[in-house]
Amino acid sequence: NAEQSSQWDGFRHYSQPLKTSEPSSSKDRIFYGGTTKGDIMDSSNDRIGIQHWASEGIAGRGILLDYHLWASTQSPAIKYSCFSAHAITFQSILAMCEAENVVPRKGDILFIRTGMMPEWETFTEQQKKEYAAQPEAEHAGMEASICLLEWLWDSGIAAVAGDAIAWEVDTTPGEVSMHEYLLGGWGMPIGEMFDLEALSRTCAGLKRYSFFLTSMPLNMPGGVSSPPNAMAIF
């Protein structure tokens, strides 16, 4: 389990309620493809493990929506901390697509940059310790809403990723749980804590926010997550 740094969340990471009518707090849950908790806990069972991704890797057109940059250009500027429950709205997604001249296509890998990495680097050692000691830290990210889910589905997005801690806003409960729908329901990879700083500079310099993305997850039978081992090619 690589849930410590830049990572792809695999399908063993998150389950969803067995019945769609039940809330996220339901203890009657199931993983992607009907996989049960018993399957996950069985050390001899590697069902829906990360090794299946490694057989072919992740490759396709990546698109970057640079929220950190876009927010700073608004009038007035949208000010926020990546270590707060700041939600990136669905309307902001549409506005960024227009500003960057990005039209999502089927199979795209969507990246959202919040600016988490440079903000973290401004923390003193004491601030980092205080952050780590919090029982429930807050993290900026995508709003958890049905309209965002519908847009991802209708656009044919194949995977989502970003530099945020949890991709979706955390810990404020949203309309839905994106992790439940994307990982447990759809089988859509979620990338978290990717370092997007160099990518952001390149996209801004070229005025081009699409690129070819390759990623080689670990060949770990039964693996829960993996470092991305990713590269953007222009």
Task: Give the residue extent of every domain in the chain.
Answer: 7-13+49-233
C-alpha to C-alpha distance for 231 and 234, rounded to whole angstroms:
10
CA distance to 1, 144, 148, per residue, from 20 (Å): 28, 16, 18
Taking all residues of the chain, what is their mean pLDDT, rounded to a whole number?
95
Query: Considering the domain 7-13+49-233 in this protein, what is its CATH number?
Result: 3.50.30.50
Closest C-alpha among 171, 120, 135 to residue 6? 120
Q: What is the mean pLDDT of residues 212-217?
A: 98
Q: What is the mean pLDDT of residues 89-100?
A: 98
- Ranges 3-12, 27-36, 212-221, most confident: 212-221
pLDDT in tens, 134-153: 998 999 999 999 999 999 99
* % of residues, the chain, pLDDT over 70: 99
Could you tell me where the beta strands, DSSP code E, fall in 19-79?
29-30, 58-66
Tokens of 38: 């018993």
Q: Looking at residue 171, what is its pLDDT?
A: 81
Question: Which residues 6+ apart lie within 8 Å of 136 measured at CB?
Answer: 171
Q: Looking at residue 175, what is its pLDDT?
A: 82
pTM of the model: 0.94
- 174 pLDDT exceeds 90? no
C-alpha to C-alpha distance for 139 and 125, rounded to whole angstroms:
19
- 1 pLDDT exceeds 70? no
pLDDT band at 21 (very low <50, low <70, confident <90, very high): confident
- 4 pLDDT exceeds 80? no
Per the model's pLDDT, the better-predicted residue between 155 and 135 turns out to be 155
C-alpha to C-alpha distance for 80 and 86, rounded to whole angstroms:
7
